Each structure stands twice: as C-alpha cells, then as structure tokens.
A and B are shown apart, each in its own frame.
Chain A
Amino acid sequence: MSARAVMPGPARWAVRLSLLWLLAGSLVGAWLLAAGAGWMAAPGGRWLLAHADWMRFGWMTQFALGVACWILPRLPREPKFGPALPMIGGFVVLNVGLLLVTLGLLFAGRLLVVAGLLGVLFSLQARLRLRAGAR
C-alpha cells in the first residue's frame, strides 16, 4: 500500500471533523429554512451566524486544509508533513473557536478560528513552496 493510500492523523481528524460540521451545519440550515416559512419556531439570530461559520470554516476550509495536509508534496526530511504542533494545535483551536461561536461568543470564537487557520497554514508553508512531485 502506498503512503498516499492512508492519510496522516491530523489530516484524518480534520476531514472527519469537517464532515461533522457539514452535517451539523446542514441540520441547522434546514431548520432555519423551515422556520423562515413558518414550519418551526424561529431560532435566534445566533444560529444564523453559527450556520454560516460552521459551513465556511468548519466544513469547507477545514476540509480543504485537511486534504492539503495529506496531498501536498512532503518535505525531503523529517518532519515530512511540516511541524506537527502548529498543525494539530491549529485544528484544535479552530474547532474550539467554532464551539465558542456556537455559544454566542462571536468575537472570541472568530479570533480562535483565525488563530487556528494561521497555525495550520504556518505548518504547511514549507510544503507549499515545494514543487509538485518533489517528495
């Protein structure tokens, strides 16, 4: 089995978490839509912000970065995936930030989301500079 056939741990968890955010975001989106047509009680405005952030950052951005951690050219020496701490810490902080957004702590939540994304990008930056096929 080639090394590409299995994702590294942080990428695997990022993609799994993004799938969970997609499910949660779809559920809240369907609730907001049905409530708008009078089928259900209208949720507070906080849920609209949570739905938007879950889908933008929890689903799309986290999925893209998770796949990038797996698919980008690897470094020629250890650590081949780039520094692990900013990558793992970045994904953890990103997801904690999304939970804070859900709790209505919008500023603190988005601050953590940005910090998390910067952590992951910092971890990937050396790999982003490699030419495709250089691994």
Chain B
Amino acid sequence: MPIVTRAYVFAALLWLLLSLAAGLVLAAPGRFPAAWVAVVMGPGWTHMWALGWLTQLIFGIAWWLLPTIDRQRGRGTAWPLWLGFVCLNLGLPLRLLAEPAARAAPAPAWASIGVLLAAAMLLAAGTCFVIPMWRRVR
C-alpha cells in the first residue's frame, strides 16, 4: 500500500472515531460543554463523517486501486494527493472551529477569515484528488 494511501486511511479512521464521539455529544448535548456542542451541531457532524471519514477513505484507496497511467509512470506523482491531504485535514478542523464562531453575533474577525480559508482548502482538497485521478480512469 503506498505511503500516501496509508496516511489517508489512518486519518480517515481518526475522523471516524472523532465523528462517533461527536455523535455521542449530539445524543446528549446537556452533558457536554456548550463549545463542544456548537462545533458538532449543524453541518459540522455531517462533514466529519462524510468528508473526514468516507471521502478521505475513498481518496486513499482510489489512489492505490485505480489503474496505473502506464508501466513506466505507474500511479504518477503523488504530490497533489499530499497537498490535498494537508488541505483536507487542516481545512476540516478549521471549518469546525470557525463556522460556529462566525454565526455568533458579533462574529469575531478570525472566524470569518477562518471560514473563507477553510472553504478554499476543502475545495483545493477535492481538486487535488480529481486532477491526478482523471487520467488514471481508463
């Protein structure tokens, strides 16, 4: 299994654990600090399992599994996948922290900038997967 695949799968499993824990917070919000509840409420929890767990697992396994470009080039260069890995695993926690803060009135300036940065990083993570994978789908 390539190293980049291992990194994606390991991170995906961590996000699975985190999203399961977040599910507990959502099931009994009164038992946990309000800040924790705010982070996982709304779209936060959905993105923890859909993006952090499922999408990240697919990205990693697809890089390993899909047909190679050709015999010489193999899977091709992995740096876009590494860049996507960093963007996804920084962008997702940034979103989880900044989005609830940006909804508060008045919203702190860092939260608004954090949301914009997270949006750009998550978009970049998807793009960094699609571009190298496109020519491998053959």
Known: A30-B119, A33-B99. A63 touches B112 (CB 8 A): no
* Residues of B close to A63: CB separation below 8 A: 58, 62
Number of chain A residues close to chain B: CB under 8 A:
30
* Residues of B close to A55: CB separation below 8 A: 50
**B68 and A39 within 8 A (CB):** no
* Residues of A close to B125: CB separation below 8 A: 26
* Residues of A close to B123: CB separation below 8 A: 26-27, 29-30
Which of A19, A39, A67 contacts B112 (CB under 8 A)? A39
Q: How far is the CA of A27 from the CA of B123 in the complex (A)?
A: 6
Which of A25, A30, A60 contacts B58 (CB under 8 A)? A60
Closest to B46 in A: A52
13 A-B Cβ contacts within 8 A?
A4-B67, A19-B133, A19-B137, A22-B126, A23-B127, A25-B126, A29-B122, A33-B122, A37-B115, A60-B55, A63-B58, A63-B62, A67-B66
Sample of 17 more A-B contacts, CB < 8 Å, known A33-B115, A60-B54, A64-B58: A5-B67, A12-B137, A15-B137, A16-B134, A16-B137, A19-B134, A22-B130, A26-B126, A30-B122, A33-B99, A33-B119, A34-B115, A36-B103, A36-B115, A37-B107, A39-B112, A63-B58
